[in-house]
Amino acid sequence: MLASINKRISNKLLAGVALAGMMVASLSVKTACLFFLNQPKVPEQLRK
């Protein structure tokens, strides 16, 4: 039972870390250029 609880906690923690990493990557790509016309698009692999 304890192993099951640890597995669920680690899965939720890793999902949160992945989400935070995706948010940071997306924000860093979007703020790379101040001009809206020259902003690079977010890569497809980053959206997954």
pLDDT the model gives residue 26:
78
Task: Profile the chain (48 residues) by mean pLDDT over runs of 10 residues.
Answer: 85 94 79 60 74
Whether 32 contacts 48, CB under 8 Å: no
Query: In this structure, is the dihedral angle defined by the CA atoms of residues 36, 48, 24 and 20, taken in order, positive or negative?
Result: positive
Q: Is the CB of residue 28 less than 8 Å from the CB of residue 40?
A: no
Q: What is the pLDDT of residue 39?
A: 63
pTM to 2 decimal places: 0.54
